[in-house]
A and B are shown apart, each in its own frame.
Chain A
Amino acid sequence: QSFLTQPPSASGTPGQRVTISCSGSGSNLGSLAVNWYRQLPGTAPQLLIYSDTQRPSGVPDRFSASKSGTSASLAISGLQSEDEATYFCAAWDDSLNGRVFGGGTKLTVL
């Protein structure tokens, strides 16, 4: 059981816009920023979004994120086949006194 809840799967067609949700509580998303990671099949995770909405250099602006209260979401517009991956949200949790991850959402591009 994860501290942050994500849907296990999502899907979309090329060019479509998809969103992935991340739900937490006051001890995590409600207190500090959320970060998002992408894990392509068979590879290590990569930072996608940090501090709720910031994109590291090299991440295209097709990726955007938002947070409100104890919920966050990642949006991918102009979906491409190479976006097929598992997406994880992450945040600090006061009760664990450590960083926690969502269970991951596997995105399929149909």
Chain B
Amino acid sequence: EVQLLESGGDLVQPGGSLRLSCAASGFTFSSYAMSWVRQAPGKGLEWVSAISGGGSNTYYTDSVKGRFTISRDNSKNTLYLQMNSLRAEDTGIYYCAKDPIYDWLPGNWFDPWGQGTLVTVSS
């Protein structure tokens, strides 16, 4: 069974940093692109970042470019999101999600999703 387990969410002050992790199991992790998707409290979903299976290609939504860094350690089956210069609007549940193939391509989808980890940016 494919499982994704996020961790690392916390309360952090504006301008602070946080690193999220997503431990994967039940599939060949290095063969699939992965993403982070967030959901502000009571709001909709927003794709944040993605990475190809080998880690050489990374993608970001405009609002996090230059502040967030996605990476993966395929030897540890773990996906990461390093978040710096955090803002109040970054508050929300962060989900990791698996893509159906190695490359992160436009027409694909997220399946499955982890249970999420809560990031709160507040003073």
Residues of A within 8 A of B (CB): 2, 32-33, 35, 37, 43-47, 50-51, 56, 88, 90, 92, 96-104
Contact = CB atoms under 8 A, between A and B. Distances in A.
A101 B107 contact: no
Given A98-B59, A102-B44, A32 B106 contact: yes
A43 B116 CA distance: 9
A96 B65 CA distance: 13
A8 B69 CA distance: 33
Contacts, number: 58
B102 interface: no
Interface residues of B, number: 20
Contacts of A101: 44-47
Given A32-B107, A44-B114, A51-B107, A98 B95 contact: no
Given A44-B114, A50-B111, A92 B106 contact: yes
B110 A47 contact: yes
B111 A44 contact: no
Nearest to A6: B44
Contact of B47 (A43, A46, A100): A100
10 contacts: A44-B115, A45-B45, A45-B95, A88-B44, A90-B109, A90-B110, A98-B47, A98-B59, A99-B106, A101-B45
Contact of A44 (B35, B59, B62, B95): B95
Nearest to B114: A44
B60 to A, nearest CB: 8
A45 B46 contact: no
B111 A56 contact: yes
Interface string B57-90: 0010110000000000000000000000000000
A32 B105 CA distance: 11
B8 interface: no
Given A96-B62, A98-B59, A98-B61, A47 B44 contact: no
B113 interface: yes
Contacts of A98: 47, 59, 61
